[in-house]
A and B are shown apart, each in its own frame.
Chain A
Amino acid sequence: MRPGRARLGRVVVLIDPYRQDLTLGLVTEPDERAARRTLRDQIARLEAQLAECVTTAFSTRGEVPFQVSGVHGPRVLGIAELERVRDDLAARLGDARRELTAHGLAQERARVRLERMLLAPGRHKFARVAAAEIGDGGCGVYQVRPRLGIIGMLAGWWHVKLSSGCPLAT
């Protein structure tokens, strides 16, 4: 070994997506256990957040990707394997959050449309918003329709009606 240079162990980057921080450490052999423990803690946190996303998606009747493949266990995983599990979980969590955000935005847009229909039905003739679009269950559809049919259409009497339930099975 040349003077002034120490032999260093592997470099392990510990990224904690929860805390949004980055720890760059030079890991020597005895530290590897601590590194694995940190990675396991991160996996636990990511799993908790992914579980939140999955249950939130279920309650909003959405669907988020959540499957993260295993590493042919059960066994004590090394740093590289734990990192892979953590990274996969983080990626899946990112996907799930993006899905949920997109789903939430679509619901919000549908709610705004419905509010506008309710405020000024005459300006949104025959516009429709499905109850599922605003996160409600069932098959109901809000639609701007004329009161009293053709009379309301000619007189400009418009209102929002909620259709009743799901169609009967044939």
Chain B
Amino acid sequence: MSAGAAPERGWVDAELAQELPELALWTVTAGEPPARRSPPEVRERLGMLASRFRGADAVELRRRPVPHAYRVFFRQIGLDPDEQRTPVEEAAMRRLMHGGFESRGALEDALLLAVVETGVPVWALDDGSLDGPLGIRGARAGEQRPRADGFADDLPAGRLVVADAAGPVAVLFGEPDARHAVTRATTRIRLFTLQVAGVPDVHVEEAFWTALDAAWPR
């Protein structure tokens, strides 16, 4: 891996790009899976972050520019951010419920650090399971979303998804589908993030950099 890997812009369906011109997907190939356990300094960083983050900060989040941008985007695409929380607010809620940011492994911790520190969510995918570059489009009629138990859920036509050439990879702002999730068999990881109106490029880069630096320290 390289913490200096340059993010690449993914594709966005032409009609969707006309409708939501500032919506963008960025990917970066991170390389081999990191060690399963986070290094002590990352766990310490999580602890410090948790102690700086209190209930008032969780409420105040919605006024900060980047988390606010995601809240607005949620509203604009028909999601209620108080019901399906934005990723940073979900992390904040976890912090309040558990009394801290508990370490869940090097990769999860790196993604958590990225979202809490920058407000920009980053997801990890098994690069080997992907077919070509990632992009955003509406789901087509008849497309399905496989579940971990072997069954699949129908995707309503028009549901916004992150997709590769083979089909949907994840519902927008949802966790990746089971067959694209990072597992022990994963040999290469691809990170992706979603940029919406009001989120500057520098925050996207910072989110990637934070995740890469935490999971694959130089």
* Contacting pair B19 A74 (CB below 8 A): no
Q: Range of interface residues on chain B?
A: 20 to 34
Q: Is B44 an interface residue (CB 8 A)?
A: no
8 Å CB contact of A76 from B59, B79, B160: B160
Selected interface stretch from B2-10, B70-78, B183-191: B70-78
Q: Give A67-83 as 1s and 0s: 1 = Cβ < 8 Å from B's Cβ atoms.
A: 11111111111000110
* Contacting pair A76 B75 (CB below 8 A): no
Q: Is A98 an interface residue (CB 8 A)?
A: no
B113–chain A nearest beta-carbon distance, Å = 25
Q: Is B107 an interface residue (CB 8 A)?
A: no
Task: State in angstroms the CA–CA spacing of A64 and B200 once bound together.
Answer: 31
Task: State in angstroms the CA–CA spacing of A68 and B84 once bound together.
Answer: 12
Asked whether A43 and B78 contact (CB < 8 A) given A54-B62, A74-B171, the answer is: no
Q: Is B153 an interface residue (CB 8 A)?
A: no
Q: Is A127 an interface residue (CB 8 A)?
A: no
Asked whether A36 and B159 contact (CB < 8 A) given A66-B82, A69-B83, A77-B76, the answer is: no
* Contacting pair B76 A43 (CB below 8 A): yes
> B59: which A residues are within 8 A, CB to CB?
54-55, 58
Asked whether A85 and B62 contact (CB < 8 A) given A48-B68, A70-B83, A73-B160, the answer is: no
Q: Is B20 an interface residue (CB 8 A)?
A: yes
Q: Is B150 an interface residue (CB 8 A)?
A: no
* Contacting pair A81 B78 (CB below 8 A): yes
Task: State in angstroms the CA–CA spacing of A55 and B83 once bound together.
Answer: 18
Q: Give A82-102 as 1s and 0s: 1 = Cβ < 8 Å from B's Cβ atoms.
A: 100100010000000000000
* Contacting pair B80 A75 (CB below 8 A): no
* Contacting pair A73 B82 (CB below 8 A): no
Asked whether A74 and B173 contact (CB < 8 A) given A36-B19, A55-B60, the answer is: yes
A interface residues, how many (CB within 8 angstroms): 28
Interface residues in B146-176 by Cβ distance below 8 A to A read: 156, 158-160, 171-173
Task: State in angstroms the CA–CA spacing of A48 and B68 once bound together.
Answer: 8
Task: State in angstroms the CA–CA spacing of A56 and B19 once bound together.
Answer: 33
* Contacting pair A51 B68 (CB below 8 A): yes
Task: State in angstroms the CA–CA spacing of A50 and B6 once bound together.
Answer: 37
Q: Is A52 an interface residue (CB 8 A)?
A: yes
* Contacting pair A74 B159 (CB below 8 A): yes
Please give me the residue from chain A that is nearest to B198 by CB atom: A44
Q: Is B138 an interface residue (CB 8 A)?
A: yes
Q: Is B16 an interface residue (CB 8 A)?
A: yes
B146–chain A nearest beta-carbon distance, Å = 19
B22–chain A nearest beta-carbon distance, Å = 11
Task: State in angstroms the CA–CA spacing of A50 and B71 once bound together.
Answer: 11
The list of the 7 closest CB pairs from A to B, nearest first, reads A73-B78, A70-B80, A71-B78, A74-B77, A51-B62, A74-B160, A74-B172
**Interface residues of B, Cβ cutoff 8 Å to A:** 16, 18-20, 56, 59-60, 62-63, 68, 71-72, 74-80, 82-84, 138, 156, 158-160, 171-173, 197
Sample of 28 A–B contacts (CB below 8 Å):
A40-B76, A43-B72, A43-B75, A43-B76, A44-B72, A47-B71, A47-B72, A48-B68, A51-B68, A55-B59, A68-B75, A69-B83, A70-B84, A73-B74, A73-B78, A74-B74, A74-B77, A74-B79, A74-B160, A74-B173, A75-B77, A75-B158, A75-B160, A76-B16, A76-B77, A76-B138, A85-B78, A89-B75
